[in-house]
Amino acid sequence: MNPANDLINHLLRLGDSALIQGQRLCEWCGRAPALEEELALMNVGLDLVGQARNWLDYAAELLADGRDADHLAFRRDERAYRNLLLVEQPNGDFAVTLLKQFFYDAWHLETLKGLSQSTDERMAGIAAKALKEVTYHLRRSSEWVERLGDGTEESHQRMLQAIPRLWRFTGELIDQHAAEIELHRAGLWADPAQVADAWRASVETLFARATLPVPEAPSHFYLDARQGLHTEHLGPLLAQMQFLPRAYPDAVW
């Protein structure tokens, strides 16, 4: 293992995940079930894009190969992305979107808590700033999961259908990867065991309130985003997101 490369790859994992989840949320523009929800989804998406910029800026500085955050966001091919498989999944209906957001938020919050204590001052500062936003994100997505799960018969059924659609991608949220363990021992990263325990507790507590069943512990999905192996959904998303920067690489605002 190379600690410097591991750190860069994990910064990309944070930045790419926030960027792709933000892009997915912004796909709800003009399609949300209510104006207030459209504004809320867009605000969460913009928060995540801003966080992605901070992580990718830092990753670009460590790479020191002439690329900046914009290049990392818009000029890399699919295999170079390190985002969670969960966030690249299609939005589906409102139940799928909010359940996916909750799974991500619960992992994101605990990860940022750990990173805010990092011995790397730059990383700790970025995490502390993002933590304020993600605390709200988790509160909002948790409230919606409970409202839909313990709501009408229709909303409850939608949540029951959403769980197996997303649950298979949650194994990577609690996977204790060797590189993360080493980074944590070096004082740089969140404790993956603590993140996993907190994520499970958040899911179990909320699902009990939402009258939803907790499936068996998820296994690791057969694709590994850490190695750039993604589902079929990331490529089309990147094609849309990257079209303008690739078509007009010299354009400026």
Q: What percent of the chain has pLDDT over 70?
A: 99
pLDDT at 120 over 70: yes
* Per-residue pLDDT, 219: 73
Q: Return d(Cα 216, Cα 224) in angstroms, integer.
A: 21
Average pLDDT (152-162) is 98
In a domain, 41, yes or no: yes
Residue 62 domain boundaries: 3-247
pLDDT score for 252: 73
* The predicted structure's pLDDT at residue 211: 98
Between 107 and 251, name the one with better pLDDT. Answer: 107
Q: For residue 137, is it within any domain?
A: yes
CATH for 217? 1.20.1260.10
Q: Which residues contact 89 (CB under 8 A, 6 or more apart)?
A: 24, 96, 100, 165, 166, 169, 231, 233
Split at pLDDT 50, 70, 90, the class of 250 is confident
Separation CA 134–CA 205 (nearest Å): 19
pTM of the model: 0.96
Distance CA 156, CA 225 (A): 31
Phi-psi region of 92 (alpha: psi -120 to 50; beta: other; left: phi over 0): left
In a domain, 253, yes or no: no
pLDDT in tens, 123-147: 999 999 999 999 999 999 999 999 9
Asked whether residue 222 carries a pLDDT value surpassing 90, the answer given is no
177 in Cβ contact with 192 (< 8 Å) = yes
Site of tokens 């699919």: 78
Is 252 inside a domain boundary?
no
Please give the average per-residue pLDDT across 187-193, as a whole number: 96
What value, to the nearest 5°, has the Cα angle with vertex 84 and ends 83 and 89?
Answer: 105
User: Mean pLDDT, to the nearest integer, of 84-106?
Assistant: 97
Residues in the chain: 253
Residue 220 is assigned to a structural domain of this protein? yes
pLDDT computed for residue 1 by the predictor: 57
Count of CB atoms situated within 10 Å of the CB of 181: 14
Asked if residue 108 belongs to a domain, the reply is yes
Looking at residue 253, its pLDDT comes to 67
Rg over alpha carbons for the chain, rounded to the nearest Å, is 18
pLDDT attached to residue 15: 98
- State the alpha helices, DSSP H only, in the chain: 3-26, 35-63, 69-74, 94-115, 121-149, 153-167, 178-185, 192-209, 234-241, 243-247
Out of 21-25, 95-99, 107-111, 245-249, pick the least confident: 245-249
Which residue from 226, 210, 237 is spatially nearest to 98, judged by alpha carbons?
A: 210
Cα 79 to Cα 75: distance, rounded to the nearest angstrom: 12
Summary mean pLDDT of the chain: 95
Nearby residues of 21 by Cβ (< 8 Å), 6 or more positions away: 45, 48, 83, 87, 101, 104
Is 89 a residue whose pLDDT tops 80? yes
168, 99, 91: which is closest to 140 by C-alpha? 99
Token pair recorded at residue 47: 């928060």
The pLDDT tens digits for 48-77 are 999 999 999 999 999 999 999 999 999 999
Reported as a pLDDT band with limits 50, 70 and 90, residue 81 is very high
Residue 84 lies in a domain: yes
Structure tokens at 43: 């605000």
Task: Give the chain's domain count.
Answer: 1
Among candidate residues 81, 123, 7, the one with its CA nearest the CA of residue 238:
81
- 64, HSE (Cβ side, Cα atoms, 13 Å): 3
